Amino acid sequence: MYAVGPMPEYVKKKILLLGDGAVGKTSLIRRFVVDKFSDNYIATIGTKVTKKDIKLKVNGEDYFVSLMIWDVLGQKGYSAVQASSFRGSQGAMMVYDLTRPETLQSLEEYWIPQIFESAGKIPLVMVGNKVDLIDRRKSYEEDAKEFSDAYEAQSYLSSAKSGENVEKIFRMIGKEILEEKRVEEVEKSVEMDAPPSIVRASDKIIMDFCNQFGGLEAGMPIVREQFIKAGVNIKNPTKEGLIRAVNMLAEVEMTIKDHQTVTRNRNRRLALIRGAR
């Protein structure tokens, strides 16, 4: 046998990418995992989990880390879907779009309170994406630093398009988790505006279907497919679109459940739509 020193430790860590729609979350994951950037994409409906193994050295020790990267629905108001995806995550990448300052504001007002409430005060890495589109980089860096200092987080400017800093931000979140220096208790979320109720109905329908279908990971791909087929715009669902989606979900359920259950499920979901504003 060859003695080559201590074996690296194998660990598995769940991380989330959070931030408003179209800031570049899916593109960053795609760039990191397959090293590609594609300009044609479909808006992420629901949650997708991608795995990537990396090797890290932390405090002089080697680790093999399996990053389970959760790409979560980027729409505000889908809080039931989100809270259930957030649970058990050990670190989060908070992504904003440098060309849209309101996406930074929404990290502070919505995404950070949401994650702290569901997952506790886990390490965050702030990512200002689309750096390829801006000039006067310095002022953006200063803003980012000021913002991230308040959360004791690292901050980077990145580009999923050029690849700049993409590898670095994923490695950094891995390191932050392994260092695990956080001890503060969970901070309570600030009050948020109530989401528009049609979005809440949509959120509840998605959760209801997933619960019936054996959980988020099994249900979400189906929801995603059926919502697209039904032509539902997740940002701005209409009652008509949601009714189509509920009918399509019922058709899928027909393949695994008895007629009575399917009807009951369908009626319950239609009632949610009727009750929405």
Instruction: Using the rule CB under 5 A, give the single segment among 20-28, 48-56, 76-84, 130-138 that binds Mg ion.
Output: 20-28
Is residue 44 at the binding interface for ligand G3D, with CB under 6 A as the rule? Answer: yes
24 lies in the site for ligand G3D, by CB under 6 A: yes
- Identify the residue whose tokens are 């886990």: 122
Cβ 265 vs Cβ 204: under 8 Å: no
165 binds ligand G3D (CB under 6 A): no
Options 23, 107, 157, 248; binder of ligand G3D; rule CB under 6 A: 23
* Smallest distance, Mg ion to C-beta of residue 71, A: 6
How far apart CA 277 and CA 239 sit, in angstroms, is: 9
Name residue 171's beta-bridge partners. Answer: none
Among 34, 41, 101, 218, binds ligand G3D (CB under 6 A): 41
- The token duo for 10 is 């194998």
Q: Which of 130, 200, 266, 269 binds ligand G3D (CB under 6 A)?
A: 130
Q: How many residues bind Mg ion (CB under 5 A)?
A: 3
CB of residue 24 to Mg ion, shortest distance in Å: 8
Query: Which residue in 215, 216, 247, 235 sits closest to 77, CA to CA?
Result: 235
Q: Could you give the C-alpha distances from 266 to 207, 209, 218, in angstroms and in order?
A: 13, 10, 19
Cβ proximity to ligand G3D, 22 vs 49, nearer residue: 22
Q: Which does 21 bind (CB under 5 to 8 A by kind): Mg ion, ligand G3D, none?
A: ligand G3D
- Would you count residue 76 as binding ligand G3D (CB under 6 A)? no
Q: Give the integer Cα–Cα distance in Å for 168 and 144.
A: 16
Stretch that binds ligand G3D, among 24-32, 48-56, 170-178, 241-249 (CB under 6 A): 24-32
Pairing between strand 91-97 and 9-18? parallel
**Is 85 a residue that touches Mg ion (CB under 5 A)?**
no
Query: Both tokens of residue 181?
Result: 């220096």
Q: How many whole angstroms separate alpha carbon 89 and alpha carbon 177?
A: 10
76 binds, among Mg ion, ligand G3D, none (CB under 5 to 8 A by kind): none
Positive or negative, the CA dihedral 107, 110, 113, 119 is negative
* Interface with Mg ion, residue 26, by CB under 5 A: yes
Answer whether 119's CB lies under 8 Å from 152's CB: no
Distance, in Å, from the CA atom of 154 to the CA atom of 171, rounded to the nearest integer, reads: 12
Binding residues for ligand G3D (CB under 6 A): 21-27, 39, 41, 44, 74, 129-130, 132-133, 159-161
Binding residues for Mg ion (CB under 5 A): 25-26, 44
